[in-house]
Copies of this chain bind each other. A is one copy, B any other.
Amino acid sequence: MLTRERIVAAALALVDAEGADALSMRRLGAELAVDASSIYYHVPNKAALEDLVVDAVMSEVDLSADDPAAPPPARVLTALRGMAEALFAHPRTLPLFASRSLTTPESLRPIEHLIGVMRETGMNYPRCVAAVNALSFYVLGATTAQAVGMLEEDRDARAAAALAALPAEEFPHITAAIATPGLLGDAEEFELGARAMIAGLLAEG
């Protein structure tokens, strides 16, 4: 029996293994030993399926490390770490996050959690939402930047070549930045940026 769960699990596995471009209804059907058209009985269309893949990844976020007694900045940092961990476990789904949206209660739980923590600082809702939005995009950005290294196959040699070909006189900083080895590990870099953003966003509350 085909179920929505089986379909989503197969779709996520396919994206993990071969990238977002490899996800097609026909290919997915083959993977499930079923005709492509059968999928439409369980999922309205491909866009909805992509939403569900994004939901599945976001549902893996572990919020159990939260200590409700800790100060808000520490709690937010813990939550962001949890998000980064889940995203990093599925780097090839990252492009989907930008164009798709969260649709299930399970996947919206981390967002609910973050708004709740921000809220305890006395910030009003519109500002909480803006702050959570900024933080979420930071996590997505930092995770994407880290994933670039491990996904050379997906990555365009073109982009790297373009950076390398940049005239050093006109682009001294980019040139120098490329030449400077990352003094910080990825994890430390993530922490630094996250702490900075949290401090900034909570300071003006």
Give chain A's interface residues, CB within 8 Å of chain B. 20, 44, 47-48, 51, 94-95, 97-99, 101-105, 108, 111-112, 115-116, 119, 124-131, 133-134, 136-138, 140-142, 144-145, 156, 158-159, 162-163, 166-167, 170-174, 176-177, 180, 182-184, 189, 192-193, 195-201, 203-204
Can you spell out 21 A-B residue pairs with CB atoms less than 8 angstroms apart?
A44-B158, A48-B158, A94-B98, A98-B144, A103-B158, A103-B162, A108-B162, A112-B174, A115-B174, A116-B173, A126-B183, A128-B173, A128-B177, A130-B145, A133-B142, A137-B142, A196-B203, A196-B204, A197-B200, A200-B200, A200-B201
Chain B residue nearest in CB terms to A124 = B183
**Copies per complex of this chain:** 2
Report whether A134 and B138 are in contact in the complex, using a CB–CB cutoff of 8 Å: yes
A102–B174 alpha-carbon span in the complex (Å): 13
Report whether A173 and B142 are in contact in the complex, using a CB–CB cutoff of 8 Å: no
A173–B80 alpha-carbon span in the complex (Å): 18
A192–B97 alpha-carbon span in the complex (Å): 24
Contact with A158, one of B51, B138, B182, B196 (Cβ below 8 angstroms): B51
Chain B residue nearest in CB terms to A116 = B173
Q: Besides the contacts A48-B158, A133-B141, A133-B142, what 13 more A-B pairs have beta carbons closer than 8 Å?
A: A103-B156, A105-B166, A105-B170, A108-B166, A112-B171, A112-B172, A125-B177, A133-B145, A137-B138, A140-B141, A195-B204, A196-B203, A200-B203
Sort A-B residue pairs by CB-CB distance and give the 7 closest, nearest first: A200-B200, A98-B98, A137-B141, A196-B200, A103-B162, A115-B173, A95-B99
Report whether A189 and B158 are in contact in the complex, using a CB–CB cutoff of 8 Å: no
Report whether A159 and B102 are in contact in the complex, using a CB–CB cutoff of 8 Å: yes
> Are A180 and B126 also in contact (CB < 8 A) when A156-B47, A195-B204, A200-B200 are?
yes
A196–B130 alpha-carbon span in the complex (Å): 11
